[in-house]
Amino acid sequence: MPLTVDTETLRPEKAVQDLRASRPDCLSNTAEAVREVSKKIGKAKVKCDNPKTVMIITKPGDTSLIDFTRDLVLWFMRSSKAFEGVKIYIDEKLKNAKKFKYKKVLKVYPETHERLHFWTPELCATQPKMFDFVVTLGGDGTVLFASWLFQTYAPPVISLQLGSLGFLTHFDFEKFDLYLTQIIESGMRVNLRGRLTCTVYRRIENEADCESKSVKLRNVLRDPVTGKLKVGDWCSESKKKKFGEVDGEDFDHQDELAETRQMPCFTTVPVEKYQVINDLVVDRGPSPYMSLLELFGDNKHLTTVQADGLAISTPTGSTAYSLSAGGSLTHPDIHATLITPICPHTLSFRPTLVPDSMELRICVPYNSRNTAWVSFDGRGRVELKQGDHVKVTASKYSFPTVCKDDQTTDWFNSLCKCLHWNKRQRQKSFAIVESNHGVAKSNSSTPKSSYSNLSMTLNNDTHRKTSTTNSSRSSSPPSQKRSPNHHHEGPFSDRIPDEVFAMFIEDHMQEEMDDLDDGYTSTDNGALFEISSDEDDASTVEDFTGWTDQEILSARIQTTSH
């Protein structure tokens, strides 16, 4: 699927030279060129010519969606133009699901042998580029599951709404045939959602530490004038402490300007890596104590977190856990990382947005009372012990989702539809009544002024409004006989009506009127595949459980080992 973008305004070689020159005008020109290319990427349309392979991800564990999955598979095989000869990959665990009726599908549609295949987590990890696009059946959790399957390259994802909330699912399943055909024939606008690379570092205990059950300390010399730290030699055995944390008792004033402390030093190694599209959440787990965390940005200490936890979110995840914790709503096109504390024990720790170029580290200090737990998009929950930390950086693997309209329209529509953003009962406007009852009784020879003698009455003047209305009713009969010589009066004639009332239509009434005027009726796909439940089926698996985290992680381990 080629992405056609005019990048003549930004040449990589020239950009690197400009950055090396470090001239203000060169940096400004490079930044402007990057913004222009970013705008073009957001407005570009991706067209998939002659798709060969499509992947269908069904919400794991929801047996009610098996029938929809089968109908979608059969629609792909029946399509003669856009999807002719396309291969369909569905979850391997649907093969033995009793409700899917795989063997009966083979009997009714013999071409299923060649076109219907099954995907596994190992296939997604080893050959992610074999799929032209992915169709998800479910809700937001199914979209997150697709991101969990594709931890490197991810094909464009078309999400069909069959879940509960539907913030990331913009396409109705009832019109999937229209949407899919339009996407293939006319192209699609893709939202490149940024992800975070989360690496878990574990503390390594050497033999000396294991025997003494303590951590070695190093002398740290701090200059109070400049604030710079200088790490020195190892401390003597007499100065070692059980926890080894820097505190007031560790001061050793050797002179008036320098201060010496003891700092715990140990080695950490990376052991696990995840790509998240929503958020990384560090919490206190089952412990009754609040978490004690150290937050670093670009290897500089930012703050000490004393709270129930900390949420590090992407702009896509700003409407998830971060929103519940008081974080800000952030547009997906903004390149930022959200730092949101969870129930902090301070009044000044507010949610913060930092550029996604900043490298964050969340550390559990060695003297923390309890450990911490970390989860990645609600999955892969692991424990962080004293000395462990997580490094968070912007991922180079974005997660493309297909837009229904465009990035901004889809996002604000989801805010209004799912979260009822800024929804309030509209304040009613003043009712305006213009009366000409007095002018009608005036002499006919008097020149008639169109609007100079009109009196305006607001609804807060009830007495005057009532009297005007009653007089107009008594003086204006329901129907009047016209004389033969009466000429047709146009809209701009001199005749002034006795009373003009301005009616204001509410927004919801206007939307209903627009829907009636639209005249669009969706096609009823009906049941594409019907088999009597009385017929026997060789499948024995009753439930559709889906893939567990352990199965997916083991598939990744096997992939990396090969």
Tokens representing 206 are: 């050497």
Task: For residues 181 and 61, give the distance between their C-alpha atoms in angstroms, rounded to a whole number.
Answer: 29
pLDDT at position 2: 42
- Among residues 233, 188, 196, the alpha carbon closest in space to that of 400 is found at 188
- Among residues 497, 449, 494, 506, the alpha carbon closest in space to that of 475 is found at 497
- The stretches in the chain having pLDDT less than 50 are 1-10, 12-13, 238-259, 440, 444-493, 519-527, 534
With a CB cutoff of 8 Å and minimum separation 6, the contacts of 138 are 57, 58, 59, 62, 65, 145, 162, 163, 169
Query: In the CATH scheme, what is the code of domain 269-397?
Result: 2.60.200.30
Within this chain, domains 46-194+539-561 and 269-397 share the same CATH topology = no
pLDDT at position 332: 93
Is the CATH number of domain 46-194+539-561 3.40.50.720?
no
Q: How far is CA 448 from CA 365, 469, 482, in A?
A: 88, 22, 21
pLDDT at position 384: 96
**Alpha helices in 220-377, H assignment, sequence order:** 321-324
Task: Please check whether residue 77 is in contact with residue 54, taking contact to mean a CB–CB distance below 8 angstroms.
Answer: no
pLDDT at position 251: 42
**346: three-class secondary structure by DSSP:** coil
DSSP code for 441: T
**Packing angle of the helix pair 176-186, 66-78 (nearest 10 deg):** 40
pLDDT at position 484: 47
Task: For residues 451 and 550, give the distance between their C-alpha atoms in angstroms, rounded to a whole number.
Answer: 79
Task: Please check whether residue 312 is in contact with residue 296, taking contact to mean a CB–CB distance below 8 angstroms.
Answer: no
pTM listed for this prediction: 0.70
- Among residues 147, 545, 64, 549, the alpha carbon closest in space to that of 320 is found at 147
pLDDT at position 174: 92
What are the residue boundaries of the structural domains of the chain, listed by start?
A: 12-43, 46-194+539-561, 206-264, 269-397, 430-442+451-461+494-503
Query: In the block, which residue shows the tokens 């639209």?
Result: 518
pLDDT at position 266: 67
Task: For residues 55 and 44, give the distance between their C-alpha atoms in angstroms, rounded to a whole number.
Answer: 24
Tokens representing 111 are: 């071409």
pLDDT at position 398: 95
pLDDT at position 234: 54
SS3 letters across 223-252 = CCCCCCEEEEEECCHHHCCCCCCCCHHHCE
